[in-house]
Structure 1
Amino acid sequence: MSIGDVIAELGRDSGFMANVTAWETLPARAGQLVELPEALHPALRGALQRRGIPQLYSHQAEAVTSALEGRPSIAVVTPTASGKTLCYMLPVLQALLNDAEATALFLFPTKALAHDQLAEIGDWIGASAGFDSAGADGPAGAGFLAAYDGDTPAAQRRPIRQNARAVLSNPDMLHAGVLPYHGDWARFLAGLRYVIIDEMHSYRGVFGSHVANVMRRLRRVAGHYGSHPQFLLTSATIANPQQLAESLSEHPVKVIDNNGAPQGRKHIVLYAPPLYDPIQGLRRSSVLESQELAVRFLKGGLQTIVFGRARLTVELLLSYIREGLQGSDRSGEEEENAVHISPSAVRGYRGGYLPLERRQIESGLRNGSVRGVVATNALELGIDIGQLEAAVICGYPGTIAAAWQQWGRVGRTTGESVAVLVATAGALDQYVVNNPRYLLRRSPERALANADNLMLLVDQMRCAAFELPFAEGDRFGRSPFTGEVLELLAEEKSVQQFGNRFLWRGEGYPSRQFGLRSVGGEPVVVQAGSSDRAPASGAGSRQRFT
């Protein structure tokens, strides 16, 4: 069956349509193509031609041209699958081709996304003949290009520090594994031309505020070695891209949001499971409804992704979908037209899987051997997972931006696609599906980060003082509280003033004392009375409660 047949069959199903609260069809849109920028290196022009890309989308050309002109910061804010990777990859590769000492740092919010991009950038390096003389050897660059994160074997880390010119990492590793040891990275930092921050919309709240301070530390250490990198940022659609980009880079930012990529016809369906007890307001399980829809799409021949909000939901859905593929409650004619899918062709994807297993699933989605995947929001970001045609979202993901991100995982070409949001019985989910304008017409939420939150700033300035001394009058990025925090650190004897310089005198590595994803501190143990139950524990502030 074609996707058009599956969608038409869905529309004719009166039982299904009785519970649909909204069905919106986004029309197909042609792409806006422009000529390659004149300043682009001949080797990169050749690589584009060999990969069948004689022209760029308008937003890609604008981003590349602006970066090559030397603008301090650029933020590309376009939907999923609009080709944002080329917006930063072409300027970076050009800098590496033109200057044998130039380096670039790519930051991704997850290791999975970094490794996905490692393969993509490696392919481009292999296709660009000019890198033969720039030190690259083979698709992965043989040390020229490398991922540096918690999965990197210890034996490979020193060669990467000594030889790599393009490093893919994440803010957590930069915070704890690179900046505290910046002396080992002197060559790399001295040549740092570009810092790429992908999926910028992920850096909000506590995590984003921490990352903004890590960027302050990076600029400070890079400046110590004589480099002042450009920042290239990419993001899905958010309400305040300029504000967020400027809080991360602390430079004036040019925002490019005129999406020139084509889009296929997309059907967005909001679905409220039926009531089985109207008096008590009890509805059929969203998990079971999502399972039935996923099986329907898979048997219709559509490569399908199902999103669950929790790991347990993912495992339940995976089990139910595999069971559904083995049986059938369809009519004889429908079953005869159905595509027979092996249950093993549907895989789960969530945190906790081994890196090799995740890579195999991603590869299977790209080559088509994996026909369905059930995932948490681990696959919400821009990992290349092929040409998916159908998405089922089990439960509202919590924000408008996240919903559009998940819908954007399908229809990544000009082909038709369908995405269904199956609401849970919760009040928020029911409000969203019964007020479709809230989800389909409102702007996505703002992504906010506050680098000057004192709870976070004090921790980050401890790290900065460990990395390099402060002098009187120095500012930590644009923070107006630098002097006051240094006085506090001197009072607690983390730093000591010698003349006009503040030198680190604390114990150990301060970056090891907290993570970036929480307002961390020492563990807190809570135990009530003389209960025999095991005490609860968690991270908390430095004040200890019992």
Structure 2
Amino acid sequence: MEFRKSLTSLLHALKQEKEFCEQIVHWHTIPSKEAEAVDLPDDIDIRLKTALQNRGISELYTHQHEAYQFANKGSNFVAVTPTASGKTLCYNLPVLQKILNDESSRALYLFPTKALAQDQKSELNEIITEMGVGLNSYTYDGDTSPAIRQKVRKAGHIVITNPDMLHSAILPHHTKWVSLFENLKYIVIDELHIYRGIFGSHVANVIRRLKRICQFYGSNPQFICTSATIANPKELAETLTGKEMELISKNGAPSSKKHFIFYNPPIVNKPLNIRKSATLEVRRLAGHFLKNKIQTIVFARSRVRVEIILTYLQELIKNELKQKSIRGYRGGYLPKQRREIEQGLRNGDVLGVVSTNALELGVDIGRLQVCIMTGYPGTIASAWQQAGRAGRRQGEAVIIMVASSSPLDQYIIQNPNYFFEQNPETAIINPDNLVVLVDHLKCAAFELPFKNGDTFDGLELEDILQFLAEERVLYYNDNTYHWMNDSFPAHNISLRSASQENVIIIDQSDIASVKVIGEMDRFSAMTLLHDEAIYLHQGVQFQVEKLDWEEKKAFVREVDVDYFTDANLAVQLKVLEEDMLIEKESAGYGFGDVTVQAMATIFKKIKFDTHENIGSGPIHLPEEELHTNAAWISLHSFNKEDMSEKRLEESLIGVAHVLQHVAPLKVMCDPSDLHVVAQIKAVHNNKPTIFLYDRYPGGVGLAKKIYETMNSVLLEALNLLSNCPCHNGCPSCIGTESISNSIKKDTYLLLTKLAIKE
């Protein structure tokens, strides 16, 4: 009880502190909840039951029990419950039971990150050791040594891997994995909400290939998925796996009392509505808790931010606590360091940890009491994942979200109801994106030939296969399409982009060890990998020293700077085909295929937190063309007495800036996945129009979802604008502070005309 008292009394003291109270926008208390549990099922193997009881598990939460029942019935299901609610047992229990019943059974676990896979493997192996049976669980990733790989293929009851390894190292070599594919009973997909946008569209096709190979070897595995809370978990699971799903959403796990505090730093520049640095406020708030020896986690968005906050906090408490009691945790740390930090958090040696989202996913890190977020993490699902790091065991917990000046942060902080009372985020994928689909059909044809009349998990293929045969990619003979190239295609296809002609990113920070750290599609590279761009990779800042456009190589070096870069794209957008249209009195909404011709012109250096422009430079790159999907809003008429054409153009740009920050909220994507362009006179209808288009060739469904929810997106934009305390526009709303006085009012007026009243 000592911990709880000190936290409760500290909260009481902070409430009395004027400086703290004045910045609190919302204080939301979530009451504690008792567990809803049932006895362990009678049909569980006695060895497994004993192992669970030895680990203190003598009953199942209701959602775990429901999962076990669905698994026994042969149903595919998706379990959606909060962090730390014991989702792991939803799949480990049925999988282990199945293997104990029939030791030839196999299971495949897919995790989005290596760290999560390692953590889950440790937990699984502890249960297996307790059972005292010869059951093998192995991780199969890029770090698996060649000597162990053969053992995994032949004798792995449970193979733990990631989608990239499945795509490039397992499926193309399925003949080496016969014992896995012949006996595969379960496929587990953890952290389902991660598989969205282009990545999710690729993974859906990897799963189509996996099912095709299972069918070839005579197996028909069940799918078990788990996810953080999103608006459409069942729909996402069904689209990703191509299987009908049962939904488990009633959480039976207990939870502690939680205080969720929205904190907005004080304004330091009123005309520009620029607030005090979120980083400095986080240092001050975290210092309060750490000095009182309350275990605290601080989340930051990048590795550089992690290091800055870590340095601040270690300096702040150096006279009171040991240096090692405050640690950083991020990508780039060695597994040994990570395990040591996790262990320190569990046993209390580590009092505070500053982390990127590396600790957001389900790694067990004990009984932290306070979680402080440096800015909004980007999605409500992520925010709840981070909040779930605190109060995992019994006792009170505090979560503080400290906003930056960015429009998204300001929107969330000013709209607590949006955050707490609804879950508007829809994870969207489009497995039938033609560019993505064709790539995976090449991979599938390499793995197994296609016969006339074959489908790809129900999708008709004749036209695409004929096209690939005409292009001499496939060879058609005796009613069968065969792969006819020396190399296998999976190596050249990245699950993270929709283009084959990717730019390779080469890190030359250490001349003795130059290495490739990533790749990016050409269209994105124009604005993110131009000379002098600041490129973020796993939270690390790199500066692009040279972009070799011809050779498709970007040479980068690690730096530590307090700004990021943002490039201007000169965009010409033409509507190729209008698929859907809604016409009302003041405005019309459309959706269809578009072609985007874009040229990167200049880039700006923008200071963290304050978003001040601190420099710029030219970009010398050729024009690129992109065929994709777009949603658009056109204004039918405007009164020239109310607004001149110049002011209308300025207002359109203001609306576009607001939409650029609000729209990604609805479709749960990164703001860079969805681009917004304003045209004073659109080519296809000669009207003032704002386009929102998918940044990926062929589109992944983001623009379509925006079209379907256009009115609610516009109403959210109005909300953001009316809640911004600036007078004339600022970086937190319409993106500028230099245009004439009433531009914010004009932007608001334009938005009200565009938002069609039903």
Normalising by structure 2, we get a TM-score of: 0.66
Of the candidates 199, 222, 227, which is equivalent to residue 207 of structure 1?
199
Q: Are 1:124 and 2:127 an aligned pair?
A: yes
- 2:447 alignment counterpart: 467
Distance 1:342 1:478, change over 3 A: farther
Q: Are 1:502 and 2:505 an aligned pair?
A: no
Asked if the contact 1:21–1:272 (Cα under 8 Å) also holds between the matched residues in 2, the reply is yes
SS of 1:59's equivalent? helix
- 1:90 alignment counterpart: 93
Of the candidates 309, 331, 354, which is equivalent to residue 374 of structure 1?
354
- 1:53 alignment counterpart: 57
Distance 1:356 1:478, change over 3 A: farther
Distance 1:191 1:533, change over 3 A: closer
Alpha-carbon distance, 1:319 to partner:
1.2
SS of 2:317's equivalent? helix
Matches within 5 A, 1:156-171: 156-171=148-163
Cα distance in 1 for partners of 2:329, 2:499 equals: 28
Cα distance in 2 for partners of 1:447, 1:528 equals: 30
Letter in 1 for 2:70: S
- 2:330 alignment counterpart: 350
Distance 1:396 1:528, change over 3 A: closer
Cα distance in 2 for partners of 1:506, 1:261 equals: 53
- 2:77 alignment counterpart: 74
Distance 1:241 1:533, change over 3 A: closer
Of the candidates 522, 547, 551, which is equivalent to residue 535 of structure 1?
547
Of the candidates 63, 70, 73, which is equivalent to residue 67 of structure 2?
63
Letter in 1 for 2:480: R
SS of 2:63's equivalent? helix
Asked if the contact 2:186–2:222 (Cα under 8 Å) also holds between the matched residues in 1, the reply is yes
Bigger shift: residues 345-354 or 114-123: 345-354
Letter in 1 for 2:107: A
Asked if the contact 1:349–1:376 (Cα under 8 Å) also holds between the matched residues in 2, the reply is yes
Bigger shift: residues 114-123 or 399-408: 399-408
Letter in 2 for 1:38: D
CA-atom RMSD in angstroms: 2.2
1:139-181 Cα distance to aligned partner (Å, 9 max, x none): xxxxx11111011122221121122111111111111111111
Cα distance in 1 for partners of 2:400, 2:358 equals: 19
Cα distance in 1 for partners of 2:494, 2:288 equals: 43
Greater relative contact order, per chain length (Cα 8 Å cut-off, separation 6+) = 1
Cα distance in 2 for partners of 1:324, 1:536 equals: 45
- 1:38 alignment counterpart: 42
Of the candidates 23, 29, 33, which is equivalent to residue 29 of structure 1?
33
SS of 1:534's equivalent? strand
Of the candidates 9, 23, 31, which is equivalent to residue 5 of structure 1?
9
Alpha-carbon distance, 1:232 to partner:
0.5
Of the candidates 385, 390, 402, which is equivalent to residue 365 of structure 2?
385
1:23-53 Cα distance to aligned partner (Å, 9 max, x none): 0100011110112223322222222222222
SS of 1:194's equivalent? strand
Cα distance in 1 for partners of 2:145, 2:545 equals: 40
Bigger shift: residues 353-362 or 501-510: 353-362
Q: Are 1:259 and 2:243 an aligned pair?
A: no
Cα distance in 1 for partners of 2:12, 2:74 equals: 51
Cα distance in 1 for partners of 2:484, 2:394 equals: 59
Cα distance in 2 for partners of 1:521, 1:386 equals: 43
Alpha-carbon distance, 1:536 to partner:
5.8
Alpha-carbon distance, 1:229 to partner:
0.5
Q: Are 1:299 and 2:279 an aligned pair?
A: no
- 2:20 alignment counterpart: 16
Cα distance in 1 for partners of 2:226, 2:283 equals: 34
Distance 1:539 1:80, change over 3 A: farther
- Report the structure number with the largest CA radius of gyration: 2
Bigger shift: residues 148-157 or 186-195: 148-157
1:94-119 Cα distance to aligned partner (Å, 9 max, x none): 11111121111111010000000000
Cα distance in 1 for partners of 2:116, 2:60 equals: 23
Cα distance in 2 for partners of 1:324, 1:268 equals: 25
> Counting strand residues as a fraction of each chain, which structure ranks higher?
2
- 2:457 alignment counterpart: 477
> Tell me, which stretches of 5 or more residues in structure 2 are unaligned?
504-521, 532-543, 555-596, 598-620, 624-758
Cα distance in 1 for partners of 2:311, 2:245 equals: 47
Identity %: 47
Q: Which runs of 4+ in 1 moved over 4 A?
A: 524-529, 536-540, 543-546
How many residue pairs align between the two structures?
Answer: 517
